[in-house]
Amino acid sequence: MPISFSDSGSLYSQLITRLRDVRDIQSAAAVLQWDRATYMPLGGATARGRQLATLRQVAHEKLCDPVLGEILEQLDGEAQQYPYESDEASLIRVARRDYEQARRVPAEFMARLSHHQTESYLAWAEAREAGGFERVCPYLEKTLDLSREWASFFPECDRPADSLIALSDEGMTSRVLEELFSQLRGELVPIVEAIAAAPPIETKLLQQEFPETAQLNFCAKLMERIGYDFSRGRQDATLHPFTTSFSINDVRITTRTDLHNLTESLFCSLHEMGHALYEQNIDLALEATPLADGTSSGIHESQSRLWENLVGRSRAFWECFYPRLQGFFLRQLGQSSVCDFYRAINRVACTPIRTAADEVTYNLHVMIRFELEVAMLEGKLAVEDLPEAWNSCYERDLGITPANANEGVLQDVHWYAKLIGGQFQGYTLGNLIASQLFETALKQHPEIPVDLERGNFSTLLTWLQRNVYRHGRKFTADELVDRITGMPIHIDPFLRYIRSKYGDLYHLDL
C-alpha cells in the first residue's frame, strides 16, 4: 500500500480499500467515456449511456455508504495528529469533503442525471448538425431543473451557483468570482478595443494545407520532448478534445486536427499536454485515492494554459522549435521566419469561438458564459431567451454577433453534457493562476526563458512538479496559490503579462 498509517492501521486501511473501490469504478466510467469519444461505433450509444449511469450509481452508493462515514468520523481525531499536508491527514480531509458532498445527493438523482446527460448530449450533437437551438431547448430546460435540484441539496449555500461551482472549484463562490471578473472585464475591454483599432497581424502562413498525420506526428514529438510520457499515456483523435486519467500511469490526451489550420492541433495538443503533465506527475503514493486528481478546475486550467500560452505561444519556445516545425512542413513554412510565426499565432481578434480565441479576448468569452449560467440558475434568464442574451453579451463585450447557433450558444458542449453552473469559471481562474504561478517561477528561476529557447524544460517542469503536480488534491486552489506565490488569486500578473506581450506585438502602450 502506498500510504502507511502506523496507528489505527486497520481502520485506515479499510478507508483506503473502500476509497480505492470507488475510484476503480470511477476510472472504469472514465474509460467508457474516453471510448465513447474516440472509438465507439454509433450503434453503441444507447447501451453506453446506460452503462455509464449504472457505474456512476454504483460508485455513488459506495461513496455514500454510512460505514464509510463512520470510518471517516473515527479517523478524524487521529488525523489531527498528522501534519496538515501529510498523505494521511490530507486523505482523510479530502475524503470527508467528498463524502459529505456525495451523501447529500440521492443515488437515484445521480442515475437520472446521467441518463439525461446522455440524451441531452445526443440532442446537442443533432442540433449542431441540423443547426438549431430549438432541438436542445427542452433538454437544456431539464438540465436547468436538475442543476437547481442539485443546488437544493446544499441549502447552506447563499446562491444556487455556489454548490455547482464547489464541484469543480472548491472554496470559490459566485460573489468572489463576480468581483474578480468584474475587475478583469473592466481592464480587458479597453485593451481589446485598443488592439482592435491597431493594424491587424498577418496570419496567412497558418492557413495553408497541412497534412493531418504530419500535424499529429509533430505534436506527439513535441509533447514527448517537453515531458509527456507516452509509455504512460497516448494521443487519440476526437471531436472535442479532452484529457482523461485512468490512473497516474495512464493519462490520455485527445486532440483534433484541421487540414487548413495548423494552430488547431498545435495548441490543442499543448493545452491537453498541460493537463496531462499535471496528472502524470501526481505523487505515486496517492495512486487510487481521491487525492490522485487535479485539485480544481482552476488549477488544472492553469496548467493547460501555462503550457499552451505562457510557454507555447512564447517567442523563446519557437526560437527552439520553429526550425523543427519547418522541417515537418517545408513547403508551407520554409519561407517564413520565426518572427512571422510568433506574430501569427498571437494575433488578437474578436471572433465568436471561445476555444479558438486568443489570450486577450479569451476571458471575455468565459465571463459571458459565467454571467449567463448564474442568471439562468437565479431565474433571471429563461432558457428560451438564452440565444438572444448570448448574442447581446457578445455585442457588448466583443462587438460581434455570432452568425448562427453553432458559432453562438451551441458551441460549447458543457451545458449540454453536464450541468448549468460551475462549468466555466475555471477557465478564467486558470489563466489568472497560470500567470501568477509563472511570474513566481520566473522570479525564483530567471533562467527559465533562456532554458525554453534551448528546448530545456527541466527547471520549469521540476518547479511545477514540486510545487503543484505532486500534491494532487491535498490543497485547495486557494491554499496552493497562497503557498506558492504568497498571495491570493488575483488579476495583476495576468494583466502585466498581457500588457507587456501585446503592447510589444501591437506597438501599443497598453
Which one of the spans 20-28, 174-182, 421-429, 443-451 is the region binding its own copies (CB under 8 A)? 20-28
Q: Site for its own copies (CB under 8 A): which residue of 2, 39, 260, 380?
A: 39
3-class DSSP assignment, residue 507: coil
Dig out the grid coordinates for 260 from the structure.
487548413
Angle at alpha carbon of residue 100, lines to 97 and 103, rounded to 5°: 140
CA dist 173 → 473, 492, 509 (Å): 19, 20, 34
Q: Which 124-163 residues touch its own copies, going by CB under 8 A?
A: none
Q: Which 214-253 residues touch its own copies, going by CB under 8 A?
A: 229-234, 236, 246-250, 252
Q: Site for its own copies (CB under 8 A): which residue of 37, 50, 149, 208?
A: 50
Side-chain half-sphere of 470: how many Cα atoms within 13 Å?
Answer: 12
Q: How many CB atoms lie within 10 A of CB 273?
A: 28
Contact 409, 390 (CB under 8 A): yes
Task: Compute the least distance from the CB of residue 44 to its own copies, in Å.
Answer: 3
Task: Compute the least distance from the CB of residue 253 to its own copies, in Å.
Answer: 11
Site string for its own copies, 284-303 (x = CB under 8 A): ---xx---------------
- For its own copies, the closer of residues 84 and 230 by Cβ is 230
Task: Compute the least distance from the CB of residue 324 to its own copies, in Å.
Answer: 24
* Residue among 115, 38, 101, 44 nearest 68 (CA): 101
Q: How far is C-alpha 381 from the geometric centre of its chain's CA atoms? A: 26
- For its own copies, the closer of residues 234 and 445 by Cβ is 234
Contact 251, 299 (CB under 8 A): no
- For its own copies, the closer of residues 275 and 347 by Cβ is 275
Q: Site for its own copies (CB under 8 A): which residue of 16, 19, 55, 113?
A: 55
Q: Site for its own copies (CB under 8 A): which residue of 21, 319, 407, 412?
A: 21
- For its own copies, the closer of residues 43 and 155 by Cβ is 43
Q: Site for its own copies (CB under 8 A): which residue of 41, 83, 334, 446?
A: 41
Q: What is the DSSP letter of 153?
A: T
Owner of C-alpha cell 453562438: 408
Contact 164, 422 (CB under 8 A): yes
Which one of the spans 5-13, 42-50, 405-413, 419-427 is the region binding its own copies (CB under 8 A)? 42-50
How many residues appear in the chain? 510
Residue 115 near its own copies by CB under 8 A: no
Task: Compute the least distance from the CB of residue 378 to its own copies, in Å.
Answer: 37
* Edge-to-edge order in the sheet of strand 250-255: 235-237, 250-255, 243-247
Q: Single out the catalytic residue among 88, 170, 264, 272.
A: 272
User: Which residues sit opposite 250 in a β-bridge?
Assistant: 247
SS (H, E, C) 403-436: CCHHHCCCCCCHHHHCCCCCCCHHHHHHHHHHHH
129 given a catalytic annotation? no
In the complex, which residues of this chain contact its own copies (CB under 8 A)? 20-21, 24-25, 27-29, 31-32, 35, 39-44, 46-48, 50-51, 54-55, 58, 229-234, 236, 246-250, 252, 287-288
**Catalytic positions:** 272
